[in-house]
Amino acid sequence: LRILERAARSQHTLWTCGRLFMQIAAGVDATGGRMLLQVYEAQVLDDLVGLREGHTAEQIPVAATQPIADALLLAWDGFEQFSVDSRHSIGNPPITSETVERIFAYFSSAVSELQQGFELYIRAAADAEPSLPVGAITLACTLSTSVERLVFEAFHGILQADGARAAALVGAAVADFDKASSELLHGRPGLGGMAAVNRTTDVCVLREVQALDLLWRPLARSASLFAAGNTSTAVMQDMSDRALRLYDQLQHVVTTYALGRQESCSLDATEREWEALLAEAGRLHTLCQRVFAELALAARGLALPWGSSRLAVALADVNQTLEALTFGSTGAGFPSPPQQAIADHLFRLSDLWNVFLQSSGLPGARRLA
């Protein structure tokens, strides 16, 4: 698990280096970016050496197979070329478009090889011990890299003067983040060669994911502005700043899903939050009564003209309210469950509601992982 955690975090940091170079080349926050780039470059190089040759202090053995070792060596070689060329170009401005594309090629090679090494490690770990949470680790890795990829593609598109392609790539990164986040929370079945992922039920981890969502939403808004054609300096700077603020939380989330929760957490809720949660719980009770009342009327042939539309709205409201109470809702101002007992009860309620929807043939049922 330490190997997988290190490899996943390394991919995130590698993408961070690429993003920092692109923003420096575009002239955004060059001073701060240079300092961070040096720090993260050293971290990536150290990670790649440790993953390939082993790291005694961190209990990381040498690469398990020759294909993994080869992929990590190629990743190191590509990243070393990226590092040397990027440092030289930053120290000798201006950075031409030809230089950007040459460095982009080195970077892409490093990304591809490190991803291959990570995937080989994932498969080897799953074969050796099927119970390992390889699916969750992969999703957490996708979560972290998609943030950096989003900003990377935006700046690269500006430098290439290809806004349409950049907008599409930014949109794809946003979609990848949202999909990975949803599957980490709700779980997914093991289908189509993908490892199964159990839903997140630990209240401390739920709170960590909600903290991540709170940081993610402003970046997603800036990304939507970029995708709509707003490539102003203010938007680009905001995207860069938001990604920087997300870095530590993303690294923490990757570690949590790979190694498990390492420490206790604070789940305090304010008086206002408790009031909001209790009010929403009461609303959920009322909505469920409305659903059952509409179904009872329909079963007796007493459905009113507006019955079907009211039922559809009530079903959607129940699903939305139950989701907000179970996982928290940044937009609505609801924290994730402040006690494990509350979370456990909400998960049982969600399962019962899901069974009810499936048995009744009603829309909105989830496929349980």
pLDDT tens digits for range 240-284: 999 999 999 999 999 999 988 877 787 878 888 898 899 999 999
- pLDDT value at position 292? 86
Q: Is the pLDDT confidence value at 302 over 90?
A: no
Q: Among 228, 86, 85, 214, which residue's Cα sits nearest to residue 154?
A: 228
CA distances 47 to 53, 62, 273, 315, Å, are 10, 12, 42, 49
**Average pLDDT in the 222-246 region?**
93
C-beta separation of 119 from 11 below 8 A: no
Q: How crowded is residue 135: how many other Cβ atoms within 10 Å of its Cβ?
A: 22
Before 94, cis peptide (omega within 30)? yes
E strand map for the chain: none
**What percentage of the chain exceeds 90 in pLDDT?**
66
What's the pLDDT at 53? 87
Residue 306 pLDDT class (50, 70, 90 cuts): low
Structure tokens at 173: 């990164």
- What is the tens place of the pLDDT at every residue in 142-164? 999 999 999 999 999 999 988 89
Q: Is the pLDDT of residue 193 over 80?
A: no
- Helix, strand, coil share (%) of the chain residues, nearest 5: 75, 0, 20
Confidence (pLDDT) at 20? 95
Using a pLDDT cut of 70, give the percent of the chain over it.
96
| Angle 235-241-244 from CA coordinates, rounded to 5° | 145
pLDDT of 221 over the 70 cut: yes
Strands (E), 154-228: none
Residue 52 has φ and ψ, to the nearest 5°, of -85, -45
Asked whether the predicted pLDDT for residue 314 surpasses 90, the reply is no
Structure tokens at 307: 């019955």
**Residues in a beta bridge with 188:** 197
Q: What is residue 327's predicted lDDT score, i.e. its pLDDT?
A: 93
pLDDT digits (tens, 9 = 90+) for 165-184: 999 999 999 999 999 999 99
Q: Do residues 166 and 230 make contact, with C-beta atoms less than 8 angstroms apart?
A: no
Average pLDDT, the chain: 90
Average pLDDT over residues 287-297: 85
Task: Return the pLDDT at 134.
Answer: 93
Q: Give the model's confidence band at 304: pLDDT under 50 very low, under 70 low, under 90 confident, else very high.
A: low
The alpha carbon of 12 is separated from its chain's Cα centroid by a whole number of angstroms, namely 11
DSSP for 234-300, please give it.
HHHHHHHHHHHHHHHHHHHHHHHHHH---S-------HHHHHHHHHHHHHHHHHHHHHHHHHHHHHT
Burial label for 241, CB within 10 Å (0-12, 13-18, 19+), is middle
Q: What are phi and psi of 197, to 5 degrees?
A: -130, 125
**What average pLDDT score do residues 84-99 get?**
94
Q: Is the pLDDT of residue 41 over 70?
A: yes
DSSP for residue 362:
-
Q: What is the pLDDT of residue 346?
A: 95
Question: How many CB atoms neighbour CB 202 within 10 A?
Answer: 14
The pLDDT value given to residue 184? 95
What pLDDT is recorded for position 307? Answer: 57
Token couple for 235: 């938007």
